[in-house]
Structure 1
Amino acid sequence: MQNTAWPVLWAVMWVVAVDLAVGGSWDGEYHRTQPFDGFFSPPHVFIYTLAAVAMVLVAVLNLRPVLRNRFGPDLALPWPVPVLGDRHPGALLLLTGGMAGIALAGPADAVWHTSFGLDETNWSFPHAMLGCSLALISIGFWSCRLALTGHRPMWSATRYLLGYLTVLACAVFMGPLQNYPTREFASAAGSSGALGVNPDVQHLVRIVTQANLTHTSPAYVLVAAAWAGLALGFLRAVDVRARYWFVVAVLVGLSLTSTAGAEAQRYGFEADQRVTSGLPLLTAALVLALPRPRALGPRYLLAGAAFGLHTFLVWGVAVAPAWFALAACVAPALMLGGASAGTWAYRVLAAPARRATLALIAIAVLVVPALTGAVDLVLRTLIP
């Protein structure tokens, strides 16, 4: 039955990957070009249909004992859970927790769009839960795949793809700070096509521009440094060799930079280096790859310093140099803290233990969405 468990797990990963790549791109372009027609737009139907397919495949792994037992030892649950029972393999718990988060976020997203239309940042509770659940699904797939490694070696391509998906999914923590390089860019994006005549989108633009939820905000340095540390700490825990984690960081950087470049051309910002500049993640990864110092902690601190300097020179000098300089000074500590969190997450998925596994699921599905959702609601209240 090992040969059956592996193809089902592989199918889950590819369904999720296609859902992200095709559904995500289609959804953004559809809303930009078509008037808002409710939650059940064609891209939303596509996205949630593929999500349902992935959930069915995960249910097969959970419901068939001969498959479920291939994913490592059972962990005791705090109370009996429908379908899962009172004991379940930790690796499958992580994957199933991510799928449960998607199942909960879907109806919440429908209610939000019905009530507020497109007036929603990536920090809103439904969007944050969707993003964090996707990150947990990537982590759960890692854990399930490692549980099967004793029976079938993991291909290098799988490791690179999983690292890429996990790092991109974790970028949800940055919310609108990642999406908008400058206030001018946010205003132009909100005026494009069907978005320009949508009052809900115009409220979103006011929130972004008045609160300055862009790269030109010192808050971007702090949040992005923590994300970069999380990404590099996780990838380096997967494989200490720079040829793995540095390549994945480059792939993520190229992906995000190419997207930014395409949007810069669309909105007429090709000459603005604040929009087209490469990600400071790559600068931090390059410094981390240096052989000295040998101790890992100081290397993360140096990578954080390089990250802070990059953001200061590109976005901070002309806007708020004093505040940016202060934020850049804090960036090394946040880089180190993020790296510690990323290393911890990998340790949990590599050898799931009861408390750590349940804690990781709760953090991803409930805690982070609740915190960012609270920030989103405060911003909506303060900026009418």
Structure 2
Amino acid sequence: MSIRVAVVAPTVAIAGDRALSIAGFVGLLIAMAIGGWGVQWDIRWHLLIGRDSFWIAPHVMTYAGVTLSATIAFGMLALERVRGRASQGWWLAAVGMALTIIAAPIDDLWHRLFGIDVTVWSPPHLLGLAGAHLNLLGAMLVAVELWPGSSRRRAIGVLVAGTLLLGTCYVTVDPGVQTAFRRGGVFFFTWPLLGALGFTFILSLTARASGLRLAPLVVTVAALGLHVVGLGISDAGFALTQPVPAIQEAIAADPTSPIAIAHEMARRSGTVVGRSFLLRWLPILPAAVLTLVDARRRWIAGGIAFGATLFVSAGHMLAGAPSLRHALPAPGDVVLAALLIPPAALAGSAAARWLARRWPSPITPPA
């Protein structure tokens, strides 16, 4: 009887630890989704309302997501240390949240020194986004650690983390379209160039970590769905809070700001500002090509194919946008972009291959 108790007790403890790890993983994904939707709502708030303060509803939603994510990441890392284990996934997730938290006081100092900025591409904002990227990479690695080998749970966990990661990358890369509007020339291709690097890395890594050939296509379609849900949440939030717009005053105060440019681009295109889907469905065709090539096994062909398809499809669609007709590139700019974008995608594919090979329990896809 004593021997049986001695055997059963550790087994129950291990099962309890594993259940707690899974709960932490699921909680982290939910928290990051909440934070991501808060950021999406915050961007629309700036575009539609203009007035900003620390306690506006989208900020509160974002802070709640970040606080919950940080609590889970640091708590699980501490628990892993107490258990005597070293989880690389939770360590990476915690480092990511540390960067995001550090970005907040830096952002406040930046505003005090340089005034209120309304761009995603300020140093504090980019630091916070870098932290979110690392956190979600850590979440993906946690799924790999929790479910070694090929399993349905591992695939689902990796796909969800990959979807959130791609959504975060979208937010980071989106301002590239305004760069095209302002500068034209070869800068017309800023968005596809940055996307070739970031999107290919995320989609290739997700395919390798999940073991699913369809992963790139699934993740891009899911990221589009994530965007639609975010629009619904922000619409409901506006209906509930009913903020008083001050957007015309904000545009008049700085006609060259990203907010003013967004409104001008929407006016020229005849669209509603903050509701465009173009940049969310554009990556789907390149992702389908990457799926066809099989990112798990053919990283060189996959990277080049994704980059070439993104160059052609994004170039064609952006060139047809009325808001960018004044910024169309010259033939030499097109040639230069054609020489830059596929190699950028290849670099993203190579980085995904390098990282996946250093993660535990790699999946070897069937020949």
Using the size of structure 1 for normalisation, the TM-score is 0.66
Is the CA contact (8 Å cut-off) linking 2:140 and 2:157 kept in structure 1?
A: no
Q: Who wins on radius of gyration, i.e. which is larger?
A: 2
Match of 1:225 in 2: 196
Distance 1:320 1:92, change over 3 A: same
Residues 1:26 and 2:37 aligned together: no
**Structure 2: segments with no counterpart, 5+ residues:** 1-16, 236-261, 363-367
**2:292 counterpart (286, 290, 313):** 290
For residues 63-142 of structure 1, the aligned pairs below 5 Å read 63-64=78-79, 68-69=83-84, 73-74=85-86, 89-142=87-140
Distance 1:256 1:113, change over 3 A: same
Aligned to 1:242, the other structure's residue is in SS state coil
Residues 1:314 and 2:298 aligned together: no
The alpha carbon displacement at 1:60 in A equals 2.2
Deviation per CA, 1:270-300, whole angstroms, max 9, x where unpaired?
Answer: 579xx76464422322222335998542343
The alpha carbon displacement at 1:254 in A equals 5.8
RMSD: 3.9
The alpha carbon displacement at 1:320 in A equals 1.0
| In structure 2, distance between residues paired with 1:53 and 1:2 | 20
Distance 1:270 1:46, change over 3 A: same
**2:206 counterpart (235, 247, 256):** 235
The alpha carbon displacement at 1:140 in A equals 0.8
Match of 1:194 in 2: none
**2:347 counterpart (334, 337, 353):** 337
Aligned to 2:34, the other structure's residue is in SS state helix
The alpha carbon displacement at 1:253 in A equals 4.7
The alpha carbon displacement at 1:350 in A equals 3.9
**Structure 1: segments with no counterpart, 5+ residues:** 75-88, 184-208, 353-384
State the AA in 2 paired with 1:12. L
Q: Percent identity?
A: 20
For residues 1-384 of structure 1, the aligned pairs below 5 Å read 1-21=17-37, 23-64=38-79, 68-69=83-84, 73-74=85-86, 89-149=87-147, 154=153, 156-174=155-173, 176-177=175-176, 180=178, 183=181, 209=182, 211=183, 217-253=188-224, 267-268=266-267, 269-270=269-270, 277=278, 279-290=281-292, 295-316=298-319, 319-322=328-331, 323-350=333-360
| In structure 1, distance between residues paired with 2:354 and 2:45 | 38
Distance 1:251 1:91, change over 3 A: closer
Distance 1:312 1:60, change over 3 A: closer
Equivalent pairs, count: 303
Deviation per CA, 1:227-246, whole angstroms, max 9, x where unpaired?
Answer: 23223322222245332222
Is the CA contact (8 Å cut-off) linking 2:299 and 2:350 kept in structure 1?
A: no
| In structure 1, distance between residues paired with 2:59 and 2:143 | 29
| In structure 1, distance between residues paired with 2:228 and 2:319 | 19
Is the CA contact (8 Å cut-off) linking 1:216 and 1:315 kept in structure 2?
A: no
State the AA in 2 paired with 1:301. I
Is the CA contact (8 Å cut-off) linking 1:2 and 1:67 kept in structure 2?
A: no
Is the CA contact (8 Å cut-off) linking 1:230 and 1:338 kept in structure 2?
A: yes
Distance 1:125 1:2, change over 3 A: same
The alpha carbon displacement at 1:125 in A equals 1.3
Is the CA contact (8 Å cut-off) linking 1:99 and 1:137 kept in structure 2?
A: yes
Distance 1:237 1:225, change over 3 A: same
Distance 1:26 1:301, change over 3 A: closer
| In structure 1, distance between residues paired with 2:21 and 2:27 | 10
Is the CA contact (8 Å cut-off) linking 1:222 and 1:334 kept in structure 2?
A: yes
Greater Cα offset, 318-327 or 144-153: 144-153
Distance 1:220 1:58, change over 3 A: closer
